[in-house]
Structure 1
Amino acid sequence: MLNNKCVFVIDQNLPLGLIANTAGVLALSIGEAFPGIIGRALEDSQGVFHRGITMLPIPILKGTADSLKEMREAVKAHEPELTVVGFTNVAQTAKHYEDYSEKLESYAPEQIEYLGLALFGPKKVVNKFTGNLGLLR
């Protein structure tokens, strides 16, 4: 895991609430795919339980709708070495997972817009696609 890196790239033009939602969805998906990145539960000095959190820093970088679409296409050549999670317009507008599944089946790839991408894999590969991006602030 130490040679791996995780980065989120999110459309900087989204409203703040949608940026937060996108980051949350991407985090859950990466955490499910790589449970080993979550640290053990801890207790503070008063014995209060604190669930484990990620042991990897996860920078959130800024992108645009166009750059995310281009990035998603470019990273295909590096899968499965690179794990890619996309949060899309299709998912964001779905009422529940079955709705998302049905909608996604009817969309052509060129109709899908990415609100955010998570990239997880070898640092060198992740940096190849994200090294020139600034932090989302």
Structure 2
Amino acid sequence: MFDTKVALIVRDDLAVWQKLNVAAFLATGVAAARPEALGEPYEDAAGRRYGRMLGQPMMVFAADLAGLQGAHRQAVARELAIVPYVYAMFSTGHDAANREAFRAGDAENLDFVGLALHGPKKAVDKAVKGLKLHT
């Protein structure tokens, strides 16, 4: 049905609140990176309008740090849209500090707690190969 896929990958050793926080931020990153993937606004029977959501499902996977780093390497090689979240971002208080924390990391060994990937279905499937759906 869809020729593209959205995958959120969340590190499996986080506290529940952290997992939810990471997933929420990653989803907003996909919407920002690929606004064309957004559906139309919702409207209820009374005519009240509501916000838009992505027009396709998002699959949420769990991984350890090595799994996230492997998915990142595959996503870079396949030129997918990538939204990153690294552990250092939990200790920042605003968006600019998040970007500084991300830039300060070792680009070849990032301490990922989450990634969002968007792109052609087959390419995303290869990037998440071997990962399990989050439970």
Shared fold by TM > 0.5? yes
5 Å-filtered alignment, 1:83-98, equals: 83-98=81-96
Percent identity of equivalent pairs? 25
- 8 Å contact from structure 2 (residues 30, 116) kept in 1: yes
Give the whole-Å Cα distance in 2 for the aligned partners of 1:41 and 1:101: 30
Superimposed CA distance per residue, residues 9-41 of structure 1 (whole angstroms, 9 cap, x where no aligned partner): 111221110001101111111101111211111
Structure 1 gap ranges (5+) = none
Mapped to 2, the partners of 1:45 and 1:101 lie a distance apart of 42
* Per-residue Cα deviation, 1:83-118 (whole angstroms, up to 9, x for no partner): 111111132222222323333343323553100111
Match of 2:125 among 122, 127, 131: 127
- Please give the secondary structure, in 1, of the residue aligned with 2:132: coil
Stretches of structure 2 lacking an aligned partner (at least 5 in a row): none
Structure 1 position 77, deviation (Å): 1.5
TM-score normalised per structure 1: 0.86
C-alpha RMSD of the superposition: 1.9
Give the whole-Å Cα distance in 2 for the aligned partners of 1:105 and 1:85.
14
Moved >4 Å (runs of 4+): none
Matched, 1:28 2:28: yes
SS of the aligned residue for 2:133 comes to coil
- Partner amino acid, structure 2, of 1:109: A
| AA aligned opposite 2:61 | L
